[in-house]
Amino acid sequence: DIHYKGGCLLLENFGWASTMLSYSSRPPDPLIAGGNRWRDLWLNRLENQPFLLPLWISHQHRDAYWKRGSICEDFSAVKAAVLSIGGWHDGYRNTISNLVTNIQSPVKGIVGPWIHKYPHYAGPKPAIGFLQEALRWWDRWLKGTDTGVETDPDYRAYVMDSVRPARWHPERPGRWIAEREWPSSNIRLEAIELIPGGAKPAVVASPQSCGLAGGEYFPFTFGPELPGDQRPDDALSVCFDQAELEEALDIVGAPELEIWVASDRRQANIAVRLCDVHPDGASELISYGVLNLTHRNSHEFPEALVPGETASARIVLDQCAYRVPAGHRLRVAVSTAYWPMIWPSPEPVRLELSAATLKLPLRPLAKGDEVSFPEPEGATPWATETIRPANSERHVDRDEKTGVVTLSITDDFGEVRDLAHGLIHGSIVRETWAIHPDDPLAATGNTHWTQTFSRNEWSVRTETFADMRCDAQNFILGARIEAYEGEKLVFERDFEQAIPRALV
């Protein structure tokens, strides 16, 4: 989900916990709760709501806590018909293939170029008639109406064309492909040896600030959240560039990197990015994967690395559908850090790669759309008045005196008045992620959420703060809630807890 990836601690774990701290602090509406009852309900909620991060951080391996909510523990338990829909710019991009591959009940998958939004209004475009597709599915499996969904291809995916790297794309050119069965016999794995036999091992020891071009794990604001030009991160990684392509390639599926690696530390992370390098050097992210190397054999039972001892590992990159044009090059970039996507190892790490083989899932070039969808439809939007427009900003700053690199993000979701009942609501989140290139223990994350609600003379707001830092043995977590009626502070509460690190 958003907690761990490849055994690495995702910073989205902290981000979502701080978001839920803010969401859960919101008050009942007096028009619904009535009189002063809303206040009693609100204060009781504030007193009892949890800060979820310590719970999630206390389960650093794949234990019973995660298994109970994981569909992959028993795919046969799914008896319902499943239509799985997602986007290539969404954090759940792997789910669709996993479900279509493993569920035994009726299942189909659709993957578009979208962020974490519904496909009838999501970006990047093209959007599709998602609601019509959902109705076709429900009419068949809930009403028994023959809508033809059984004859739909198992897997419909949008193959994105190469574009100039940018933090946001209003549209991604490309085409829709259709696979009657998934996994598909149309896709072949091509093995590319990156380190020839007998060659000198490649040494990877990245600055902790590598990863700032990676974008958000869950882009959802239609703002500057997508991966940018990868050249800054490529410069901090070990790169394996391939020859200029004589013909275009359609990569459809999950690339893999098989390695033989030795670490100088008991715990080490590795990040692998597959990039599309343009003739002028611009580098566009195709897919990436991360692995905590202590999880190389099991996410449930991690094993410490033996420093200096060579071990094998397989890094599975995310599912993708991407066309690399002729004249471009493929680049595999390998790093020991990917900040702020994942939390760094407790010590700087030096890896030696003695062998590396990339396995690319290649599909014959699609000549055009192989499937089509209805145009997007939707109900009339709820009637609101914009009081403050939404806005998103991202800045990276380097303190030349201390060397600390800080990513600052402000997502102002704006303020609107509901024209049906008059409630005015606004929210803003500010995030800072700081790291020193030479010191993984300098990593810090901070968030500050503001939620505001008002109607006539009634006005409340909450301010929630969360912070995360570490030492070599512990994750140190803190949070604070402040609640105001007007400008009067009516509630405050602090959280602080240290959680031991467990090979993370």
Bridge partners, 475 (sequence order)? 470, 499
Q: Which one, of 49, 178, 164, 155, lies nearest residue 491 by Cα?
A: 49
pLDDT score, position 447: 99
Look at the domain 188-363 and name its fold.
Answer: Jelly Rolls (2.60.120)
Q: Which amino acid is at 341?
A: M
pLDDT score, position 36: 83
Contact 257, 315 (CB under 8 A): yes
Q: Which one, of 235, 209, 239, 207, lies nearest residue 349 by Cα?
A: 207
Q: Which one, of 227, 209, 210, lies nearest residue 218 by Cα?
A: 227
C-alpha 395/C-alpha 400 separation (Å) is 16
pLDDT score, position 338: 99
C-alpha 116/C-alpha 218 separation (Å) is 6
Angle, alpha carbons 396-431-415 (nearest 5°):
115
Give the SS3 label for residue 427. Answer: strand
Sign of CA dihedral 281, 287, 292, 297: negative
CA-based R_g, the chain, Å: 24
Q: Say how many C-beta atoms besides its own lie within 10 A of residue 415's C-beta.
A: 18
C-alpha 132/C-alpha 169 separation (Å) is 25
pLDDT score, position 401: 98
Confidence (pTM): 0.97
The answer to whether the peptide bond before residue 183 is cis (omega within 30 degrees of 0) is yes
Give the SS3 label for residue 350. Answer: coil
Residue 185 Cα to chain centre, angstroms: 29
Q: Residue 352: CB partners within 8 Å, gap ≥ 6?
A: 201, 202, 203, 204, 261, 262, 263, 310
Residue 478: burial class (beta carbons within 10 Å; 0-12, 13-18, 19+)? middle
Give the dihedral of Cα atoms 145, 146, 148, 154; nearest 10 deg.
60
pLDDT score, position 295: 99
Per-residue pLDDT of the chain (504 residues; tens, 9 = 90+): 799 999 999 999 999 999 999 999 999 999 999 888 999 999 999 999 999 999 999 999 999 999 999 999 999 999 999 999 999 999 999 999 999 999 999 999 999 999 999 999 999 999 999 999 999 999 999 999 999 999 999 999 999 999 999 999 999 999 999 999 999 999 999 999 999 888 999 999 999 999 999 999 999 999 999 999 999 999 999 999 999 999 999 999 999 999 999 999 999 999 999 999 999 999 999 999 999 999 999 999 999 999 999 999 999 999 999 999 999 999 999 999 999 999 999 999 999 999 999 999 999 999 999 999 999 999 999 999 999 999 999 999 999 999 999 999 999 999 999 999 999 999 999 999 999 999 999 999 999 999 999 999 999 999 999 999 999 999 999 999 999 999 999 999 999 999 999 999
Domain map of the chain by residue range?
Answer: 188-363
